[in-house]
């Protein structure tokens, strides 16, 4: 989630000419002004969130964030000996609402419903599952939309953070919850970055990590991923309504939703595959529109839909800061290089790639699997949907995680 799509759903069959092509309607529909931000703000419905204050943090970049608060959700019960704790780390535009319905406080249903719950691969009848919103996010954990010490939103003043900074905050959350070891730490894409950092930093800070699962991620952000991120950041910064990040006082409809939507369109293209987009949409026009005048092709409508959808449920500043955090990701920084860092990980590891992923290439997952001493052989999911396969191919991913937790990995 560089950024991830946590709205993904299985793609429908190729649309017929004149259909809406998955864009949610025929001609462009007015949905009302886009909120200036969809960040959770103090006074909004809490939903299933819980909160804990974890203190002040000195960041890798030299800045300091005081009074950090973490929003998180839990499922299941912690065993008396604390042996059944599982940490789930979300992708770029995800949050702590991993499973559960939409409702007050939660704009969307859980993003990994098929993986977590009673009887699911991560069985909440057996495990105590914790899912925090990441530092710099916009759904309750301290981020750009949060109140700074001067009583105003942080906005553009919110400092850049790295995955190590984010894990440092999550370590203090674990301590606050009385957790001294994780049975499993699991995450995909941006969440996978933090899984790897957890596998190194957790033991260094007295919190054992017994097993990890990384899905469609990397140990070090590549030049290609940085390039895709750069275009997305440029789209947001170029939006005059971004105002350098200080837009929270603007009226709905006057926020940086155009830049955020374009950033999402760029990202969403990397989440899927060329074959899927061509098979699903091809050169079909959007229903009732004429691409030779002022109309769109169906694939353009599809991207417009996803851009608008994100702008109505996320925050532009968080998108910027979290994308920047992904750009900095390098497990080997100040640790002698990636291979040296991977070799220090003592946890059992399951590393999962998607064969058609054009954002986090399978070779990057292979590097992780080769470098961790107790890693299982690399698992490659087959999917027509590219990077978003981690949100779709549960019939493949679920049994692998189930077997890994039972120490019976099926390859």
81 labelled ligand-binding: no
Active-site residue, from 96, 146, 189, 383: 189
| Strand-pair category, 122-123 with 116-117 | parallel
CA separation for the pair 133, 309 (Å, rounded): 20
Catalytic pick among 5, 357, 365, 383: 357
* Ramachandran sector of residue 30 (left: φ over 0; alpha: ψ -120 to 50; beta: rest): beta
CA–CA separation, 151 and 275 (whole Å): 50
* Residue 388 counted as an annotated binding residue: yes
Our answer to whether residue 16 is catalytic in this structure is no
3-state helix, strand, coil in the chain (%, to 5): 35, 15, 50
Burial class (CB within 10 angstroms; exposed 0-12, middle 13-18, buried 19+) of 81: exposed
Residues paired with 185 in a beta bridge: 87, 212
Positive or negative: CA dihedral 263, 296, 305, 194: negative
Q: Is 230 a catalytic residue?
A: no
Angle at alpha carbon of residue 263, lines to 258 and 268, rounded to 5°: 125
Task: Give me the active site residues, please.
Answer: 189, 357, 387
Return binding residues. 264, 388
> Which amino acids are annotated as binding site for substrate, given as ranges?
264, 388
């Amino acid at each position: 989630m560089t950024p991830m799509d946590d709205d993904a759903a299985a793609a429908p069959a190729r649309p017929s000419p004149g259909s809406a092509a998955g864009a949610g309607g025929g001609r462009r529909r007015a949905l009302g002004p886009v909120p200036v931000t969809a960040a959770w703000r103090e006074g909004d419905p809490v939903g299933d969130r819980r909160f804990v204050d974890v203190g002040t943090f000195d960041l890798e970049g030299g800045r300091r964030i005081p009074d950090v608060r973490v929003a998180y959700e839990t499922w299941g019960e912690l065993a008396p000996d604390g042996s059944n704790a599982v940490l789930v780390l979300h992708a770029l535009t995800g949050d702590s609402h991993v499973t559960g319905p939409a409702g007050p406080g939660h704009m969307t249903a859980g993003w990994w419903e098929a993986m977590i719950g009673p009887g699911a691969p991560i069985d909440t009848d057996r495990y105590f599952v914790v899912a925090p919103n990441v530092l710099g996010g916009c759904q309750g954990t301290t981020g750009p939309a949060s109140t700074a010490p001067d009583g105003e939103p942080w906005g553009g003043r919110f400092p850049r953070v790295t995955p190590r900074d984010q894990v440092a905050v999550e370590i203090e959350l674990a301590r606050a919850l009385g957790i001294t070891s994780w049975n499993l730490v699991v995450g995909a894409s941006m969440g996978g970055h933090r899984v790897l950092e957890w596998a190194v930093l957790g033991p260094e800070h007295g919190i054992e990590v017994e097993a990890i699962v990384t899905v469609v991620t990397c140990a070090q952000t590549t030049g290609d991923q940085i390039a895709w991120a750069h275009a997305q950041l440029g789209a947001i910064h170029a939006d005059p309504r971004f105002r350098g990040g200080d837009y929270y006082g603007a009226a709905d409809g006057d926020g940086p939703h155009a830049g955020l939507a374009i950033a999402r369109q760029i990202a969403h293209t990397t989440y899927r595959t060329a074959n899927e987009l061509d098979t699903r949409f091809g050169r079909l026009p959007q229903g009732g529109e004429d691409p030779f005048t002022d109309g769109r092709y169906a694939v353009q409508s599809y991207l417009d839909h996803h851009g608008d959808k994100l702008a109505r449920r996320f925050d532009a500043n968080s998108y910027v800061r979290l994308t920047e955090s992904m750009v900095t990701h390098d497990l080997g920084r100040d640790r002698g290089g990636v291979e040296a860092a991977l070799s220090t990980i003592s946890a059992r590891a399951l590393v999962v790639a998607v064969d058609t992923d054009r954002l986090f290439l399978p070779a990057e997952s292979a590097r992780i699997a080769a470098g961790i001493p107790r890693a299982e052989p690399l698992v490659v999911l087959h999917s027509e949907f590219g990077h978003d396969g981690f949100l779709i191919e549960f019939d493949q991913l679920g049994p692998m995680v189930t077997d890994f937790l039972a120490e019976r990995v099926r390859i």
